[in-house]
Amino acid sequence: MPAHTVPAPRELLMNVLGFGDNTVDRFVDRGTDYPGGNCVNVAVYTRRLGLDAAYLGVFGDDGLGTALRAAVAAQGVTVDHSVVRPGATSVSTLHVRDGDRVFLGYDPGGPEVRRALPLTPALLSYAASFTLVHSSVYSGTEAVLPRLATAGPLISFDFSDEDEYRTPAYLDRVCPHVDLALLSCSHLDEAATRALLTEAVRRGAGMALATRGLDGAIAYDGRTTAAAPARVADPAAMSDTMGCGDAFLAGFAVSLLRGGWSRRASPAPEALERALHEGAQAAYRQCFVEAAFGFGWPTPAARAGGPGPSEPAPR
């Protein structure tokens, strides 16, 4: 069930690398598996916005991993430096309720597939060739972030919405090496959201972005706070909300990059506001795409049940 989206013309000199997780999103109500994962999604979305993009990570050698890798490559996202390891691909099981995707469980896949890809000197040089490298709490990349940041590219990092990734110890480990911290805050009120953004920047992040679902988004860079409302889709017309946060991040980051964002050039207040609106527009468009970016296939009968509700979903 492909999403028939034609990539925009490529813009050279600006490129984005998704470095870390991938997964299969299994929609039990549709009987369909889809490619996904935070770092995969951000790479695909930035490619659809016109930038060159690549994905660097580990694929399983099972049928799901093969289909997942092929689906990512079909989006025009380079996967040549990713590796294939023996083992099962992770599966997130979910269904759609009133337009929103609801996670039911998670099968983490094989241990070799879960093990993070080591950042060898060759891969570090490859990653350093990108304008922006995106990773996440699900990617096991925390230990290599200092080397990656020193190598030169801007770093964005998704902190998810889970409390374990918001402790002072975790923020202190990651924030000093991150230029853009994404925090999902739909469960927090505005005061708590602003306090979390301030904390992330105080602990070293160059900038922090909070997405708040229907309540819009807020960005803070230590000097300027900017906010923008969400663009709300009609639940009767939308497909699902899978990937909306990742799409927001991609739209926000691409807007900043096109405006000249770098470590030497912080975004002006008007650039932050523009990026928030472009992020909201990207998230709105994502509501009409099946799963993360379409390209689904029928769920294999042997695994149709997937993980049970008692197993926690990672996102």
Give the tens place of pLDDT for each residue, 108-118: 999 999 999 99
Q: CB 80: neighbour CB atoms within 10 A?
A: 9
pLDDT less than 70: residues of the chain: 1-12, 302-315
Q: How far apart are CA 156 and CA 187, in angstroms?
A: 22
Q: Tokens representing 302?
A: 């042997």
In the prediction, which pLDDT does 234 show? 83
Reading the block at residue 240, the tokens are 């699902």
Q: Is the pTM of this model over 0.85?
A: yes
pLDDT at 303: 53
Taking the C-alpha atoms of residue 47 and residue 88, their distance in angstroms, rounded to an integer, is: 27
For residue 43, give the nearest of 131, 166, 164, 114 by alpha carbon. Answer: 131
Q: What pLDDT does residue 146 have? A: 97
The reported pLDDT for the residue numbered 10 is 46
- DSSP 8-state assignment for residue 56: E
Listed in order, strand segments (DSSP E) in 31-184 are 32-36, 51-60, 83-85, 91-97, 100-107, 132-136, 154-158, 180-184
For residues 201 and 174, the answer to whether their CB atoms sit within 8 Å is no
DSSP letters, 256-293, are HHHTT-BTTBPPPHHHHHHHHHHHHHHHHHHTTSSTTT
3-class DSSP state for residue 224?
A: coil
Instruction: Determine the pLDDT at residue 270.
Output: 96
- In words, the CATH class of domain 12-298 is alpha beta
pLDDT for position 6? 42
| C-alpha distances out from residue 61 to 10, 244, 269, Å | 31, 28, 46
User: Residue 201 and residue 224: Cα distance in Å, rounded?
Assistant: 12
